[in-house]
């Protein structure tokens, strides 16, 4: 279910409807006409190198039948998407079986036993170069238009499955694990595949760790309402800025494993003393969001400054590392929002490095327990 | 013409044991085995049509077909061919009286002569064909009307198969060879004379061996009881209805060419696929490398007119042709190859332009956020 859009053609009946059926019929008619009239035109005047004319019934029949089998096999080979060993066996096997049976039918032994049924054409028909030239010409006339149409369709109007396959093709194979469709890639139309692994699907922008853990743990309910109000008013718009910045940042090759756009301030080093009004954070990075103050775990209550200091310590100690860690994250995000999932989400939007978030979240949860 | 990537998937060779390996009352698990085959994890090659494979393929096909076509066309143009119709439809045609006065009961054969001129000398072996038009040897009932076991000298000489009806028995005697194909054997006799500058006629030697398929002559058609004493072997049978002579008198001078293994008979029995066809009649061997086999000049074709075609509006003609490694004159093959090759090449160029334009247009477009 990684790419739900792949199911769309099936649901909308895009790949087999009346139009497709008639296209198939038209191609069948074209192939039949070619397969009859090309040998007809060539063999009507052809002779062997001994002068014996080749326009007899058996030669005509063998030429047309062989051309048919080869054209159909080539068409199947074009249609086969995945060549497992079974496909190889059946495609080459059917060609081989055809020639085997033909040689057997035209052999002397069967003629001796049943002279009236097996007319003993002999193998000399297939030894004529004109016969093989005819078969090659008929095959080319039948297959070249099909190839051209398919290539144009793939190039000008690639379907989702085609682009996905091409994206996967451009990534190193080692990345794909397991099933055929696993691959990290974006779904843009055609060309944007080689952007880099960090760009996620375009249609759903939250393929990240998610806030499930955070919300269900209730850690973000600690923030005081005052702080909350301040935060909410100041930073609701910056959430959008964060998104924009995140998108912009993604276009640059990620230097670090996970880019966090404006890492919510995290902390640069020393943690500014907490105040009720929160905010702080001298954001080491240029972040519009300053409050976070991740460092300020203890905005809970003014009275708990001492306790705040305690968690701050370790949290503060954590913070700088968190900041400098690639994908510097603001571990303190959890303190922020008392119910403002929005604000807290900004923290997590900013950083796509899930691991760091999780780690620090867990760490801080444990710290919080001490409070 | 496909880009390929090899997705090697590891194969888990241990089928997961069903959970029902416990006591007899445990329900066997319906989970399929964890083999590569059942879990669709077989290693596969996945070709993709990319520009890098399809476009070169088009160019390669074009570059291969065009020289082949040119070679075939040039070879075909070097082959000389001459054709003359001697049916006798028009009043001023030499064979008009023979054609008009044809009757089955004629004991004296009707002869006519046709004069023609060769503008170019024919070198090397020259092959002489007779051609028929509007003669449907590919009619289904006609094609089935033969008995190959009888023609193989088998036991059904006196008991031909039912497929030969109505040409199976005549006056209670079995017909050998039976069937409609044998009955309609072409029995005109053609002779070629060269009129040299003195005005004298020089007969051109015509070879009648080597005109049939080798497998036909040596495997498929056999005389009953060997090649000698054919009159005895064919006792109890009668000739086909429309023949003037019985089968063992087709070529009494040569026992290797008499009876069922007569090469003209074998050539006729190999049914043609189309209503306008030609069959090999005689071969004119080359004399030496310096003199042309048939010098340019005047020629006469003497015909013993035995074969009626006007009743079904057919035509008869005589064809003289030289041969190359790829057979007789066949301009269609060369032209077809050149056409297909150039179309392929042109298509490749067009696709390249389309692909390039679409590519650059896509790259320069703004990528929406």
Q: What is the distance in angstroms between the Cα of B360 and the nearest Cα belonging to chain A? A: 10
Q: Report the distance separating Cα B349 and Cα B343, nearest Å.
A: 10
Would you state the pLDDT for residue B231? 86
Confidence of residue B263 (pLDDT cuts 50, 70, 90): very high
- Asked if pLDDT for residue B233 goes beyond 50, the answer is yes
Picking from B129, B161, B273, the nearest residue to A60 by CB comes out as B273
Would you state the pLDDT for residue A219? 61
Query: Taking the domains of chain B in order of start, what are their residue ranges?
Result: 53-79+328-357, 83-323
| End-to-end CA, chain A | 42
User: pLDDT per residue over B24-66, tens digit each?
Assistant: 566 788 888 888 788 877 787 777 777 788 889 899 999 999 9
Q: Report the distance separating Cα B130 and Cα B185, nearest Å.
A: 13
Nearest alpha-carbon partner for B204 in B85, B292, B304, B268: B292
Nearest alpha-carbon partner for B59 in A115, A144, A44, A202: A144
Interface subset of A 40-79, CB within 8 angstroms of B: 40-61
Query: B328, A49 in Cβ contact below 8 A?
Result: no
Picking from B50, B125, B337, the nearest residue to A137 by CB comes out as B337
Which of the residues B336, B351, B358, B367 would you substitute to probe the A interface, choosing the one with the greatest number of A C-beta atoms within 10 Å? Answer: B336
Query: B320, B294 in Cβ contact below 8 A?
Result: yes
Verify whether the Cβ–Cβ distance B47 to A83 is below 8 Å: yes
Q: A191-197: long-range contacts (C-beta < 8 A, 24 or more apart)?
A: A191/B359, A191/B362, A191/B363, A192/B367, A193/A163, A193/A166, A193/A167, A194/A170, A195/A251, A196/A250, A196/A253, A196/A254, A197/A171
Q: Which residues of A touch B284 (CB under 8 A)?
A: none
Q: What is the distance in angstroms between the Cα of A141 and the nearest Cα belonging to chain B? A: 7
Q: Which residues of A touch B147 (CB under 8 A)?
A: 116
Picking from B3, B48, B362, the nearest residue to A191 by CB comes out as B362
Average pLDDT of the residues of chain A: 63
Confidence of residue A218 (pLDDT cuts 50, 70, 90): low
User: pLDDT per residue over A255-292, tens digit each?
Assistant: 444 444 444 444 343 444 444 443 333 333 444 433 43
Which of the residues A55, A64, A205 would you substitute to probe the B interface, choosing the one with the greatest number of B C-beta atoms within 10 Å? Answer: A55
Interface subset of B 271-310, CB within 8 angstroms of A: 271-274, 276-280, 283
Verify whether the Cβ–Cβ distance B330 to A49 is below 8 Å: no
Verify whether the Cβ–Cβ distance B154 to A115 is below 8 Å: yes
Interface subset of A 192-221, CB within 8 angstroms of B: 192
Would you state the pLDDT for residue A157? 75
Find the length of chain A. Answer: 371
Confidence of residue A195 (pLDDT cuts 50, 70, 90): very low
Would you state the pLDDT for residue B288? 82
Picking from A56, A134, A188, the nearest residue to B271 by CB comes out as A56
Would you state the pLDDT for residue B340? 95
| End-to-end CA, chain B | 35
Would you state the pLDDT for residue A118? 75
Q: What is the distance in angstroms between the Cα of B112 and the nearest Cα belonging to chain A? A: 27
Mode of pairing for the β-strands spanning B173-174 and B277-284: unpaired
Instruction: Tell me which of A347 and A50 has the higher pLDDT.
Output: A50
What ipTM does this complex have?
0.83
Verify whether the Cβ–Cβ distance A140 to B49 is below 8 Å: no
Picking from B148, B328, B343, the nearest residue to A46 by CB comes out as B328
Query: B69, B334 in Cβ contact below 8 A?
Result: yes
Confidence of residue B356 (pLDDT cuts 50, 70, 90): confident
Is the sign of the CA dihedral B296, B298, B304, B305 positive or negative?
positive
Q: Which of A22-36, B155-169, B259-273, B333-347 has the least mean pLDDT?
A: B155-169
Q: Report the distance separating Cα A56 and Cα A53, nearest Å.
A: 7
Instruction: Cite the DSSP H helix spans in B101-253.
Output: 140-144, 148-151, 180-183, 214-215, 230-233
How many residue contacts between A and B have a Cβ separation below 8 Å?
A: 189
User: pLDDT per residue over A233-258, tens digit each?
Assistant: 454 455 556 556 666 655 444 444 44
SS3 (DSSP) at A98:
helix
Picking from B3, B46, B328, the nearest residue to A82 by CB comes out as B46
- Asked if pLDDT for residue B347 goes beyond 80, the answer is yes
Nearest alpha-carbon partner for A145 in A73, A70, A75: A75
Verify whether the Cβ–Cβ distance A124 to B214 is below 8 Å: yes
Q: Which residues of B touch A186 (CB under 8 A)?
A: none
Would you state the pLDDT for residue A6? 77
Verify whether the Cβ–Cβ distance A147 to B1 is below 8 Å: yes
Q: Which of A50-59, A355-364, B85-94, B200-209 has the least mean pLDDT?
A: A355-364
- Asked if pLDDT for residue A196 goes beyond 90, the answer is no
Would you state the pLDDT for residue B61? 93
Q: Report the distance separating Cα B263 and Cα B249, nearest Å.
A: 13
Nearest chain B alpha carbon to A174: B7
Residues B261-281: b if buried by 16+ CB within 10 A, e if exposed: bbbbbbbbbbbbbbebbbbbb
Average pLDDT of the residues of chain B: 85
Q: Which residues of B touch A53 (CB under 8 A)?
A: 129, 272, 277-280, 328
- Asked if pLDDT for residue A45 goes beyond 70, the answer is yes
**With an 8 Å Cβ cutoff, is B319 touching chain A?**
no
Percentages helix, strand, coil for chain A (3-state, rounded to 5) are: 60, 0, 35
Verify whether the Cβ–Cβ distance A48 to B44 is below 8 Å: no
Q: What is the distance in angstroms between the Cα of A42 and the nearest Cα belonging to chain B? A: 6
| Integer CA distances (angstroms), B93 to B29, B81, B82, B113, in order | 91, 22, 18, 10
User: pLDDT per residue over A136-183, tens digit each?
Assistant: 999 999 999 999 888 888 877 777 677 777 777 666 544 434 334 433
Nearest alpha-carbon partner for A337 in A345, A326, A349, A329: A345
Which of the residues B43, B162, B266, B328 would you substitute to probe the A interface, choosing the one with the greatest number of A C-beta atoms within 10 Å? Answer: B328
Mean pLDDT of the B116-145 span: 92
């Amino acid at each position: 279910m990684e790419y739900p859009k792949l199911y769309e053609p099936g649901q909308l009946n895009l790949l087999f409807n009346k139009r497709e059926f008639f296209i198939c019929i038209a191609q069948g008619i074209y192939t039949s006409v070619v397969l009859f009239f090309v040998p007809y035109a060539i063999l009507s005047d052809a002779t062997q190198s001994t002068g014996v004319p080749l326009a007899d019934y058996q030669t005509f029949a063998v030429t047309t039948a062989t051309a048919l089998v080869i054209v159909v096999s080539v068409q199947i080979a074009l249609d086969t998407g995945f060549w497992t060993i079974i496909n190889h066996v059946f495609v080459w096997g059917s060609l081989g079986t055809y020639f085997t049976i033909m040689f057997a039918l035209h052999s002397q032994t069967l003629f001796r036993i049943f002279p009236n049924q097996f007319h003993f054409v002999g193998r000399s028909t297939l030894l004529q170069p004109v016969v093989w030239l005819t078969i090659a010409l008929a095959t080319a006339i039948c297959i070249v238009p099909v190839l051209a149409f398919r290539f144009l369709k793939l190039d000008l109007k690639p379907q989702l499955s085609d682009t996905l396959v091409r994206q996967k093709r451009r990534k190193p194979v080692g990345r794909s694990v397991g099933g055929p469709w696993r691959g990290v890639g974006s779904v843009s139309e055609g060309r944007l595949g080689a952007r880099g692994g960090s760009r996620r699907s375009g249609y759903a922008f939250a393929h990240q760790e998610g806030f499930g853990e955070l919300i269900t743990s209730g850690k973000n309910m600690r923030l005081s309402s005052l702080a909350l109000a301040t935060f909410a008013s100041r930073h609701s718009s910056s959430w959008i800025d964060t998104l924009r910045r995140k998108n912009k940042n993604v276009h640059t090759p990620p230097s670090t494993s996970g880019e966090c756009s404006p890492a919510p301030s995290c902390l640069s080093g020393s943690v500014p003393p907490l105040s009720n009004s929160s905010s702080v954070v001298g954001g080491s990075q240029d972040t519009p969001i300053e409050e976070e103050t991740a460092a300020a775990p203890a905005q809970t209550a003014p009275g708990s400054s001492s306790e705040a200091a305690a968690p701050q310590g370790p949290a503060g100690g954590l913070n700088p590392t968190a900041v400098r860690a690639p994908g510097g994250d603001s571990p303190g995000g959890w303190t922020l929002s008392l119910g403002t999932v929005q604000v807290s989400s900004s923290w997590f939007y900013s950083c796509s490095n899930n691991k760091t978030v999780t780690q620090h979240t867990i760490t801080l949860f444990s710290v919080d327990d001490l409070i | 013409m496909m880009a390929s990537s090899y997705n090697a998937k590891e194969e888990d060779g241990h089928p997961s044991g069903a959970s029902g390996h416990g006591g007899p009352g445990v329900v066997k698990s319906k989970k399929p085995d964890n083999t590569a085959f059942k879990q669709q994890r077989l290693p596969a090659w996945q070709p993709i049509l990319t520009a890098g494979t399809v476009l070169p393929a088009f160019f390669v096909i074009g570059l291969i077909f065009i020289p082949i076509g040119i070679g075939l066309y040039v070879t075909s143009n070097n082959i000389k061919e001459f054709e003359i119709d001697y049916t006798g439809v028009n009043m001023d045609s030499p064979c008009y009286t023979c054609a008009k006065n044809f009757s089955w009961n004629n004991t004296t054969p009707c002869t006519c002569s046709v004069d023609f001129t060769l503008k170019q000398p024919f070198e090397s072996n020259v092959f002489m064909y007779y051609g028929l038009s509007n003669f449907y040897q590919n009619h289904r009932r006609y094609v089935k009307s033969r008995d190959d076991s009888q023609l193989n000298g088998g036991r059904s000489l006196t008991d031909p198969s039912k497929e030969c009806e109505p040409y199976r028995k005549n006056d209670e005697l079995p017909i050998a060879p039976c069937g409609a194909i044998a009955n309609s054997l072409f029995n005109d006799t053609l002779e070629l004379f060269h009129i040299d500058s003195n005005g004298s006629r020089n007969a051109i030697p015509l070879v009648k061996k080597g005109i049939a398929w080798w497998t036909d002559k040596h495997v498929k058609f056999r005389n009953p009881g060997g090649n000698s004493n054919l009159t005895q072997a064919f006792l109890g049978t009668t000739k086909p209805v429309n023949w003037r002579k019985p089968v063992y008198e087709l070529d009494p001078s040569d026992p290797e060419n008499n009876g069922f293994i007569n090469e003209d008979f074998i050539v006729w029995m190999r049914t043609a696929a189309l209503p306008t066809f030609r069959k090999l009649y005689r071969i004119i061997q080359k004399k030496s490398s310096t003199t042309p086999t048939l010098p340019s000049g005047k020629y006469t074709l003497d015909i013993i007119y035995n074969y009626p075609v006007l009743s079904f509006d057919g035509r008869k003609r005589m064809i003289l042709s030289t041969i190359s490694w790829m057979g007789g004159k066949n301009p269609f093959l060369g032209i077809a190859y050149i056409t297909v090759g150039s179309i392929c090449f042109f298509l490749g160029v067009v696709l390249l332009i389309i692909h390039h334009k679409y590519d650059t247009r896509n790259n320069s477009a703004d990528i929406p956020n």
